[in-house]
Amino acid sequence: NIKVIAENINIDRIILIDNSIKKNHSIYFTEKNKVEYYKLKYNEGIGKAQNIGIDKLLKEDIVKGIFFFDQDSILEETFISKMLETYLFVKERYNNIGIIAPTIIEKSSSEKFEIENYTICKEIISSGSLLNVEMIKAIGGMEEQLFIDYVDFEYCWRAIKKNYKIIRANTVTLEHKVGEKVLKIFKYNIYVPAPFRYYYIYRNGSILAKRNYIPNYWKIRERILRIITPIVILLFLDKKRQRLKYVLKGMNYEREEKAK
């Protein structure tokens, strides 16, 4: 991915934020003319890592857009150019573009998450997305306290509140691992997160449910999922005790907040 991104003439700088336990800078030496590597002392969450990259790039007035990529996303060689083509195409129709995102293909299932050139969305996954710098300046950075889950969704909803449009490029795809694995129950694909993620899903769900700019359909969906998730864990998933431990931890956060 670093090589594909660095070779594109439209990319001037690559800010690589390492949130892992050990240093991995040696992996990226081959493209070091464009790559700036920053190692965090510990995992401070995706929101913090993204904000560090944003802050460093916004010091240059020349920057007009910022791409986000996760470490487990796989790009085609034409990804950057196709995304920029979509941006120019959509910009002719709307003057308030906030984010352009690719169509995500889950790595283990090859399932696309339509086909017009683009679709106006309410939320997107951050990896592969192109953010308008003017929007970032208007609404600020990512919400770091969320740490990982729903950081990208919250940002989209905040952008929409300020009348920015969130666009999915239907002709551009990005292979990305969604969750720990995919579980098929009847005709539905269930994307199973790592056990520790249940804490952030439950905790962040309760944090966001109190905000008036969060869409009601998501709040309802979230409430339903909070009820059925423990049942799915008990009936279909492995590591039941570990997963349920984090579910309970997330539930306890909500109870403690209500008690305040």
pLDDT (tens digit per residue) in 114-128: 557 899 999 999 999
Q: Are residues 20 and 62 in the same domain?
A: yes
Q: What is the CATH number of the domain that holds 167?
A: 3.90.550.60
Distance CA 27, CA 44 (A): 21
Structural domain harbouring 25: 2-176
**What integer pLDDT is reported at residue 28 of this predicted model?**
56
For residue range 51-90, what is the model confidence (pLDDT) as tens digits?
999 999 999 888 999 999 998 888 888 999 999 999 999 9
Residues 6+ apart with CB under 8 A from 236: 183, 185, 190
DSSP state of 194: P
With tokens 């969060």, the residue in question is 214
Q: Are residues 135 and 188 in the same domain?
A: no
Of 148, 176, 204, which one is at a domain's C-terminal end? 176
**What integer pLDDT is reported at residue 255 of this predicted model?**
83
State the virtual CA torsion across 140, 142, 145, 150 in degrees, nearest 10.
130
Q: Would you place residue 259 in the very low, low, confident or very high pLDDT band (cuts 50, 70, 90)?
A: low
Of 176, 207, 242, which one is at a domain's C-terminal end? 176
Q: Are residues 122 and 211 in the same domain?
A: no
Distance CA 40, CA 25 (A): 12
Distance CA 240, CA 237 (A): 6
For residue range 26-60, what is the model confidence (pLDDT) as tens digits?
655 555 568 888 999 889 999 999 999 999 999 98
Q: Are residues 222 and 115 in the same domain?
A: no
